[in-house]
Structure 1
Amino acid sequence: MSTRRTLGVWCPDWPAAAAAADADLSPDRPVAVISANRVITCSATARAVGVRRGMKKRESQARCPDLHVVIADPGRDARFFEPLVASVAEVIPTVEVLRPGLMVLPADGAARYFGGEEVAAEKLIDVIAAHGVESQTGIADELFTCAAAARHGRIVAPRGDAEFLAALPIGELNAEPSLVTDDREQLVDLLWRLGIRTVGAFAQLSPTDVANRFGTDAVIAHRAARAEPGRRPSGRLPSTDVVIEHRCDPPIDRVDAAAFVGRRLADELHRALMSAAVACTRLTVHATTTGGQQSSRTWRCAEPLTPEATADRIRWQLDGWLTGRAGERPDSPIATLRLEPVELVDSGALQFGFRGAGIPGGDGEVAERARRALVRVQGLLGGDAVRVPVASGGRGVAERVTLVPLGDELVPAADPSAPWPGRVPDPAPAVVLDTPVTVLDDEEEPVQVTSRGGFSAEPASVTWGSRRWVLRWWAGPWPADERWWGAPEERVGAHARAQVLLEDSRALLLRYSHQRWTVEGVYE
């Protein structure tokens, strides 16, 4: 019988539960958490009346008029989860947070102390229930199986992980976001289209065939499906020289000051990790007050932690402690902060996104240096000083990009997957402008768009800047009248767009509004 067991505690629909606690709602009030205008989590009472994940906000409110709708907030989820983690840590100290709503810990010592695995699981359920929160526990040999067992409320027999996983639908490979990468959803969809419906069917494939046919994430998923040995929660910290400690002078007693120091320590930690050619997937944050009180928490991520993710976790932990959400508030200000990497991987495991290694002529290190420079600028000029683009929804080219402050959640202003009738067709202009121009006919008279949506005369040239350009080709106009039903300050009004080709082969997207023309984009 294996002695290496893992116990997981899962709080169902945690973002919805945290939102209800934040608004001080009654337990029977239906709650939905949305992102990009779609439901990502809802409470059991909301599901009972037909609200489902992926549903649009308006449709969910139509099904449940009493629905309390809030915007997704990972910080809120972490703050309200911290008191639960603190209570569990008083019973079993070696707690790891996979994400707000799910924590894991070694089950062996707990089982010996309480007299069995079932007794230990029931004890933790009682601890969570004391906060008025429902929870489920699961016990298994491996971490991935433990998370699945917690969602199903099962205690898997020793060495029975593979048998338990075999009957689960293939979607379970992507059910726990803290243990998967962004590529997992595509993998699950591909396996479904190939006729693989269960985790067991995927596990029966040859590891060689999986490695040859699919990517690296598929190999990781296949090992999890076969319940092969992997990482487990541990209360002992492996020896490492990459430890960052900061003595606060003066001591810190405010959340904003703690967040500022936390961001600086996160940058310092990641510079040290880069110098050592390693990345961190599990980090312990220690805080000690001038009176000797301590707060320690271990954070784990499916992918290596970035400086932003590290700073967020420091802020969440200290916010919950200093405000008293994690139990009693400290009796004195924070005197020392220490970051200890618990689990390090080779730096090659750190995957950069499109704005990282995908830059032509650049590499991950160059992109990381650029990101650090932007973070410094943001620290000097404020959070809104540095913004990154996010694909958004809209009809015009400028509306299809939302600028979000660096480090914030990349949420577009409008849903890009919506139909958007009348949207400018692809390809989109390479350059977005808002420069006034004059469109002229053969007699050098201004061309306008009539109330019937047509040109007042055939365009012949465009005066742009100090030069007049002869047109080789034009198309349009395409009229539109957006938000005519809204309040006066929200109305876009009637306007039209047209495409023109200049004599030097440049193509422009023009916009006509309030009886004047502007260059909205340049095609390259």
Structure 2
Amino acid sequence: MARDPGGVRGSGSTRILALWCPDWPAVAAAADEDLQPSDPVAVLHASRVVACTAVARSRGVRRGLRKREAQARCPELHVADLDVDKDARLFEPVVAAVSALVPGVEILRPGLVVVSAHRAARYFGGEHAVAEPLIDAVAAAGVECQVGIADALATAVVAAKRGRHVAAGEDRRFLAPLPVSALTDEPSLSAPERAELVDLLQRMGIRTLGAFEELPRADVASRFGADAVVAHRMACAEPGRLPAPRAVPAELTVQTRCDPPIDRVDMAAFAGRRLAERLHTALAAAGVACTRLAIHAATAEGEEHDRTWRCAEPLTPDATADRVRWQMDGWLSGRNAARPSGPITLLRLEPVEVAGAGELQRGLFGGAGEARDRARRAASRVQGLLGGEAVLSGVLSGGRGPGERVTLLTWGEQPLPARDPSAPWPGRLPAPSPSTLLSEDAGLLDAAGDPVGVTGRGLFTAAPAVLVWRGRSRAVTGWAGPWPVDELWWDPAAGLRAARAQVLASGAPAVLLLCHGGEWTVEGVYG
């Protein structure tokens, strides 16, 4: 049996207590900006509302609304971009408050934790006596929460979102009348394609979890796929994932001595990425994947800090590095008593629960191919040699020019674009986009050898005939444009008044040119 140091098994052998903080991304955004409880707040991702406070909902804001519609319904709405790092950092005081009362806390995601209700009940004198002190402790940290107790972990989470205590053996009775959409209530317990399953079930006339439970398991597996089996187990109040039938080998634990000691989040994130790569190399060699991860940190003063993260799917190296970064950010940037009194001198990752390839519904390593794994390890080694800023990755961003549509981030950071790529961006360069971005001087001449410019009305001053680029003159065989660019005209420092054109010349690939101040620059190359 997998090691279980006082944590939650979720296998039906013990009762589970789930503690849920509603609308956590919005609550964290409000706390980060020191807003009042009466202020409506919404969190956006890709210009759509993904979370909002109860005050915002009372004024018509709903998840899924576009930013413009949400602000039209509630003009005083405060909006913030989704920031998972911030959510995790601000959730650490809540986890610390729960851990002070009940041992063995496991984090499913920022805003949701689970503990052993059986262990807590023995201390507080019964399950009904557990919820009140936990709610009071979390309220002392300035956060509202709801508690649910049930036999199965997934049922406990559903119960927490409804503030229910489900009696022992009553999980199925509790779940049966709930709408089938409850299968997607908690993203940390469902696969991304779960919403498609729910939509299909509703169109088939299966409206409740009880109706879904009545379907034969074999038919669910053959008709709907692997995640539907996980959902069917949830509807039947069965354990979502049994622990691996083996002890976790001690050699899978990895640790590093921090020299110099870690006292900044960026240092912790860099060390966490390298340690995550070592952990997953060991896991791959053992043919297993980690589904519960313990993060341990120690200081020179002898303080020790531990947190356990539980995941619905096997952790990938990136997901492991994310959780290490979130946890270290919460410890190092926290304002509660759980913050280390000194720099971190030791960091250890311990797989508390592992599963083999045959015991998982999804791919062992999240579908990542061998080539991707090799590239990830190579990038990690380069960072180790040259520093964290030596490896950058591009994220699709919003903008009108090709350079604006790429946000470069340190490899391993959360891939958040600087600008929303789904916004309209009128005047954006038409497709196709250049395959290579450059910034090289060039010249555009007419048949008489005179420079070609762009008029105030966005037209060439003469037909282009010669492209001068990289010390060579090439005959122009075709062009498109020019397209005027007039951005931020009210800000002389950041504004841009220019024009772009696509030019094809003999003996050279098609290029994208930018005319600014009468000078031409090659912005990109096609093909």
| TM-score calculated relative to the size of structure 1 | 0.83
Distance of 2:467 and 2:342 partners within structure 1: 70
Q: CA–CA distance in 2 between the matches of 1:251 and 1:451? A: 59
Aligned length, in residue pairs: 510
Offset of 1:258 from its aligned partner?
5.6
Residue 301 (structure 2) pairs with residue 301 (structure 1): no
Q: Is the 8 A contact 2:248 2:354 kept in 1?
A: no
How far is the alpha carbon of 1:7 from its aligned partner?
A: 1.3
Q: What's 1:487 paired with?
A: 491
Q: Which residue of 1 aligns with 2:249?
A: 240
Check conservation: 2:487, 2:495, Cα contact below 8 A: yes
One-letter amino acid of the structure 2 residue matched with residue 349 of structure 1: L
Match of 1:460 in 2: 465
Matched, 1:476 2:481: yes
2:57 counterpart residue number: 47
Q: Contact 1:36/1:413 (CA < 8 Å) preserved in 2?
A: no
Shift of 1:282: 0.6
Q: Which one-letter code corresponds to 2:492 in the other structure?
A: P
Does the aligned pair in 2 maintain the 1:475–1:498 contact within 8 Å? Answer: yes
Aligned with 1:435 (options 437, 440, 449)? 440
For 1:399 and 1:253, the matched residues in 2 are separated by: 34
Report if aligned partners of 1:386, 1:406 keep a CA contact under 8 Å in 2. yes
Is 2:89–2:333's contact at 8 Å kept on the other side of the alignment? no
1:216 aligns with one of 217, 226, 238:
226
C-alpha distance in 2, partners of 1:451/1:331? 63
Amino acid at match of 1:492: L
1:321 is displaced (CA, Å) by: 4.7
> Which secondary structure does the structure 2 equivalent of 1:91 belong to?
coil
Relative distance call for 1:261 and 1:505 in structure 2 (3 A) is: closer
Residue pair 1:240, 1:341 contacting (<8 A) in 2 also: no
Report if aligned partners of 1:139, 1:155 keep a CA contact under 8 Å in 2. Answer: yes
Once structures 1 and 2 are overlaid, which stretch shifts more, 454-463 or 259-268? 259-268
- Map 1:52-201 onto structure 2 (within 5 A): 52-55=62-65, 60=70, 64=74, 67-188=77-198, 198-200=208-210
Cα deviation, 1:165-222, whole Å, max 9, x if unaligned, reads 4444444333322223344445555656666655555555554444444443343334
Amino acid at match of 1:221: A
Question: C-alpha separation between the residues in 1 aligned to 2:169 and 2:282?
Answer: 40
Aligned residue in 1 for 2:402: 397
For the 8 Å contact 2:17–2:150, the answer to whether it is kept is yes
Q: Which runs of 5+ in 2 are unaligned?
A: 1-11, 358-362
The answer (yes or no) to whether the contact 2:188–2:311 under 8 Å persists in 1 is: yes
Structure-2 residue corresponding to 1:520: 523
**Partner Cα distance (1:180, 1:210) in 2:** 16
One-letter identity of the residue aligned with 2:106: E
Corresponding letter in the other structure for 1:305: L
Report the secondary structure of 1:152's partner residue.
coil
Please tell me the residue identity of whatever aligns with 1:472: T
Task: State which drifts further: 205-214 or 5-14.
Answer: 205-214
Aligned to 1:342: 352
TM, length-normalised to structure 2: 0.83
TM-aligned CA distance change 1:188 to 1:398, over 3 Å: farther
Deviation at 1:12, TM superposition (A): 0.9
1:278 to partner: Cα distance: 2.1
Give runs of aligned pairs for residues 311-330 of structure 1, distance below 5 A. Answer: 311-318=321-328, 320-321=330-331, 325-327=335-337
Cα RMSD of the aligned pairs, angstroms, is 3.6
Question: Partner of 1:510 in structure 2?
Answer: 513
Given residue 188 of structure 2, which amino acid in structure 1 is its aligned partner? S
Q: Quickly say closer, same or farther: Cα 1:445–1:272, change in 2 above 3 A.
A: same
The question of 1:447 aligning with 2:452 is answered yes
Per the alignment, do residues 426 and 144 of structure 1 end up closer, same or farther by CA in structure 2, a change over 3 Å counting? Answer: farther
Answer yes or no: is 1:15 the counterpart of 2:25: yes
Q: Give, in angstroms, the shift of residue 98 of structure 1.
A: 0.7
Provide the rounded CA distance (Å) in 2 between the counterparts of 1:259 and 1:461. Answer: 51
Could you say if the C-alpha distance between residues 499 and 244 of structure 1 is closer, same or farther in structure 2, counting changes exceeding 3 Å? Answer: closer
Specify the code of the residue in structure 1 equivalent to 2:152.
Answer: E
- The residue number in structure 1 matching 2:6 is none
Structure 1 residues 193 and 470, CA, compared in 2 at 3 Å: closer, same or farther?
A: farther
Structure 1 pair 150–214 and aligned structure 2 pair: CA distance change class (3 A)? same
- Helix, strand or coil at the partner of 1:284: strand
User: Partner amino acid for 1:493?
Assistant: R
Kept in 1, the 8 Å contact 2:16–2:118? The answer is yes
Contact 1:35-1:411 at 8 Å conserved across structures: no
Match of 2:378 in 1: 373
Q: Take 2:80 and 2:467, find their aligned partners in 1: how far apart are those partners?
A: 48
Match of residue 410 from structure 1: 415
Matching residue's letter, 2:491: A
Following TM superposition, by how much is the alpha carbon of 1:137 offset from its aligned partner in structure 2, in angstroms? 1.0
Matched AA of 2:186: E
Deviation of 1:424 after TM superposition, in Å, equals 2.6
Measured in 2, the distance between the counterparts of 1:332 and 1:405 equals: 27
**Residues 415/257 of structure 1: CA separation in 2 closer, same or farther (3 Å cut):** closer
Q: Which amino acid counterpart does residue 240 of structure 1 have in structure 2?
A: P
Q: Is the 8 A contact 1:270 1:307 kept in 2?
A: yes
Secondary structure of 1:271's counterpart equals helix
In 2, the alpha carbon distance for the partners of 1:448 and 1:258 equals: 52
- C-alpha distance in structure 1 between counterparts of 2:340 and 2:429, whole Å: 57
Other structure's SS at 2:100 match: helix
Q: Is the Cα–Cα contact under 8 Å of residues 445 and 467 in structure 2 kept in the other structure?
A: yes
Separation in 2, partners of 1:232, 1:147: 17
Shift of 1:306: 3.7
